[in-house]
Structure 1
Amino acid sequence: MPVPQRMADPDRFAADTAPFRRELLAHCYRMVGSAQDAEDLVQETYLRAWRGYPNFEGRASVRSWLYRIATNVCLTALRPARVRVLPSGLSGPVDGLAGATNHTAPHDVSWLEPFPDSWAAPGPDDPADTVITRESLRLALIASLQHLPARQRAILLLREVLDFSAAETAAILGTTTAAVKSGLQRARARLRELEPAPTRLLDPDHPRARALLGAYIAAFEHSDVELLEQVLRTDATLEATPFPDWRAGRENCLHLLRTQVLHIPGAWRLTPTAANGQPAAVLYHRDANAFHAAGIVLLTATPTGISRVCAFHDPDLVAAFDFPASPPAPTA
């Protein structure tokens, strides 16, 4: 005669698991490179956790148990080996003075997406933990992580971002501590190849970062290319999904913006926000007499100016960032 399954207590389940939802969302995003996919994966994580909760015996912490479920959900989702990239991950830059942008991306490309700062885990009493959370969501790091094999990616995140021990990581992944240590070593080496000299970045609430974002917004809304020249570094890069071509060098970036983006004054309106621990803005574009959601632009702000502009032309991202489909009327 089968043994009846114990019923889970929904109130206790919520009390035990709800505090980890935000950090699990960030973890799934780091694994798969898509904020919208990460939401779905967290939903699947909690569904599996609910089903298994009656048999949870507390041999590991609830947090470790949830991360085991979430990580394996992500690994299953990544089995087709689809890599999310930015345009700069496809090929080298094109000469910005050479002509029009190539609007045709390979059909099998999946684009990296930005992650709203409002989705990240709220800062605890220790400010250092907030810094770690922001740094682990930087766009350049997320782009680099996508080029690691999925299990190496998981090992690196569990060990170096989430601070699980080698033994805990091995238990989460169902492997050995020796395999964890080996995988971590290879993952570190690969990341050093992808980004050998990380640049010091400014947090979005830093006064200099706010000033750079404000100037970028003003320049974009007024088609002021001279102001853009002041805020972009000479080595700045510019890329925008879903377009495969990208530009390197301030002169090339400005040429593209002047000839293809900012040639109609007043065509854009931007609203400040933050994403991936970096200053960002919601993009609205005017069609006839009305503005409509266009996407998100994310800036890499450094003490010497903006080193990278990455625009994500996808109206659905505006709703994901919890902004309206049309911008509010400007204040007098």
Structure 2
Amino acid sequence: MSIVDFESRTESHRRELLAYCYRMLGSVHEAEDLVQETMLRAWKARDRYDERKASVRTWLYRIATNVCLTALEGKQRRPLPSGLGAPSTDPETPLLPAFDVPWLQPLPDARLGDPAEWAVKRDSMRLALVAAMQLLPPRQRAVWVLREVLEFSAAEVAEQLDTSVASVNSALQRARAGLAGAEGKVAQPDDPAVRQTVEAYVRAFEAADVDALVELLTEDAMLEMPPVPLWYLGRDDYAAFIRRVFTMRGVGWRMTPTAANGQPAVAAYAPDPDGGHRLHTLQVFTVTEGKIAHTVVFQDPAVFAAFDLPTVLS
């Protein structure tokens, strides 16, 4: 197989492989590295590939699965703050980052290409679900994604994992049980009602209108902010913390829209003393029935780099 033939047959799978590796690892940067490793191993093994035994897609996923499982050996899971303990009830708790925790990262929708091509799989990218997946043993994680999302047959997955169909079915059953509370539909960022809710939230935040912002929250809205291991539950505590943010960082914020994990998101820019605005956080929203139910606020330079966000707004 020539390099031209190899690239023509494998490149079309790169974005799907990135999404797969991301679901497995919970890190954009690690996923990108593992896709590169997958392609390198495929290139080295190209002369042993037999198209009579497996499609190129199946062959690549077997390699990617082995690469991911090897990468996960001995690694800590990637959590969100809500996965580490009870919510805080004190909005004045010191904001001390925990850099020793390998936090879950969001994945830019832009990395996945045309939204229409992966819209049917968007629910499997939700931050809350990817976080829950990190609690599964790696092989269960692989089985669930390969079977439920990528729709490989049990026999194909058994071949990819060098195991039996019975073992695959058993692992899938356990994975489904482990994810039962996290599965669900995500409101699409291009849905007009969702867009209207997020735009209203942005207007309220930019105006420092906490009362208007509260009206856009569900009663049990969650707010969490890795790498700070804090999270808040409920409208009142959410609002109290936002008031603290405006007290600490001032008013006159600016926000620009983006999308992550198939969910609406914004880049938030705090006011600078010189009159400009400097990148502060990336905020990813879960919208339920016209209300913000969950906001994950990322303040990590690695996340900013993955989204190609400008540091300063003119």
TM-score, normalised to structure 2, is 0.93
Alignment match of 2:154 (pick from 131, 144, 166): 166
What amino acid is the match of 2:81? Answer: P
Q: Report SS of the residue matched to 1:233.
A: strand
- Pairing of 1:245-260 with structure 2 (within 5 A): 245-260=230-245
- Counterpart Cα distance in 2 of 1:311 and 1:154: 28
SS of 1:111 mapped into structure 2: coil
Moved more, 63-72 or 214-223: 214-223
1:112-151 aligned at under 5 Å gives the runs 112-123=104-115, 130-151=118-139
Please tell me whether the aligned partners of residues 294 and 315 of structure 1 are also in contact (alpha carbons under 8 angstroms): no
Matched, 1:244 2:204: no
> What is the match of residue 314 of structure 1?
300
Match of 2:34 among 27, 38, 41: 41
Residue aligning to 2:177: 189
Distance 1:85 1:282 in 2: 21
Task: Give, in angstroms, the shift of residue 163 of structure 1.
Answer: 0.3
What does 1:1-332 align with in structure 2 at a 5 Å threshold? 8-58=1-51, 59-96=53-90, 99-105=92-98, 108-123=100-115, 130-192=118-180, 194-195=181-182, 200-261=185-246, 264-266=249-251, 268-289=253-274, 290-327=276-313, 329=314
The unaligned stretches of length 5 or more in structure 2 are none
Structure-2 change in CA distance of 1:120 and 1:262 (3 Å): farther
Question: SS of 1:179's equivalent?
Answer: helix
RMSD: 1.8
Distance 1:319 1:102, change over 3 A: closer
Q: How far did 1:293 drift?
A: 2.7
Quote how far apart the aligned CAs of 1:262 are.
Answer: 5.4
The alpha carbon displacement at 1:75 in A equals 0.6
Quick one: which amino acid aligns to residue 74 of structure 1? C
- Conserved? CA contact 1:23–1:121, under 8 Å: no
Amino acid at match of 1:78: L
Q: Hey, what's the Cα distance between the residues in 1 that align with 2:67 and 2:184? A: 33
Alpha-carbon distance between aligned partners in 2 of 1:200 and 1:15, rounded to the nearest angstrom: 34
Q: Is contact 2:123-2:185 (8 Å) kept?
A: no
Partners of 1:67 and 1:262 in 2: CA distance = 50
**Alignment CA distance shift 1:77-1:267 (3 Å):** farther
Q: Structure 1 residue 54: deviation in Å?
A: 2.1
Give SS of 2:292's match: strand
Post-superposition CA distance 1:231-250 (Å, at most 9, x none)? 11111010001111110000
